[in-house]
Amino acid sequence: MSRQNQNMNPTHAQASADFREMTMTKKILIGAVGALLLGPTAALAADLPAKAAPPVAQIYNWTGFYIGVQGGGSAGGSDHVARVSDLSFANGYNIKGGFGGGTIGYNWQMSNFVLGFEGDGAWGSEYGSNTDNGTIGNPAFLSFTKETWLATARLRLGYAVNNLLFYGTGGFAATGIEFGVKDANTLALLASGSSTRTGWTAGGGVEWGFAPNWSAKFELLYAQFGDATFNTVAAEGPRNVPLVDTVARAGINYRFGGPAIARY
């Protein structure tokens, strides 16, 4: 019996070794198949581009000094009236013309609100005249007014929608005018004068930032000036020359401040 057991033990040991070898072989086969199946997927994943980061929103920054050019046209009204009685000689008349010049200013942006100061000067010719057919006028005469330059110094308050700025503006205005009386038939100059007049202006506009530091604007301004005074011919006595003006102009500005602020 003991010998029989001795004869069986090697067989049992061999069977156990064969089982372990089969188990190991099975694991190796399963691993190889998995590698074959997963290998192309891993390689494809490695070749895929990384997920793009979300875009960074940009806020147009209106803060900073700027300079620019501007030009346009104006249409206003003038008259010659008696200084004492305030009655009209010329019954009022329109004046109109074109001009061009430069602009300088500074903006402070606080959230969506923009506060700024702007000054400008323009040169041109705005002219109007009328026969003296007013209440106390003499049709033998012709009255005229000519505006030769215009300057303003204004505050601006606006609301910015990124690179679009809507604003109102108002402040000081000054202008140079020439005025006089001509012979209505020959247009010969009979009397004239010139003066620098001051007053106020108000209006509004819109400005568009079309490039990092560049913007274009369009605005309308109304201006009213103090009367000029001069002495005329014959017995008509001294005249006052009132002047109001409506200005429509466009401009391009270059700003020295930063063009944009990143917002995540």
Summarised one tens digit per residue, pLDDT across range 109-129 is 999 999 999 999 999 999 999
In the chain, the number of structural domains is 2
pTM above 0.85, yes or no: no
By C-alpha distance, which of 114, 125, 147, 133 is closest to 215? 114
pLDDT in tens, 139-196: 999 999 999 999 999 999 999 999 999 999 999 999 999 999 999 999 999 999 999 9
Does residue 16 sit in the same domain as residue 110?
Answer: no
Q: Are residues 128 and 44 part of one domain?
A: no
Asked if residue 206 and residue 111 are part of one domain, the reply reads yes
Report in angstroms the alpha-carbon separations of 165 from 79, 154, 219, 233: 37, 16, 12, 52
User: Cα–Cα distance between 31 and 27 in angstroms, integer?
Assistant: 6
Alpha carbon distance 80, 243 (integer Å): 10
**Do 34 and 112 have their domain in common?**
no
Residue span of the structural domain in which 18 resides: 1-48
Same domain for 70 and 194? yes
User: Which among 123, 89, 122, 76 has a CA at the least distance from the CA of 103?
Assistant: 122
Q: Which residues pair with 171 in a beta bridge?
A: 154, 201
Same domain, 159 and 228: yes
Q: Are residues 157 and 69 in the same domain?
A: yes
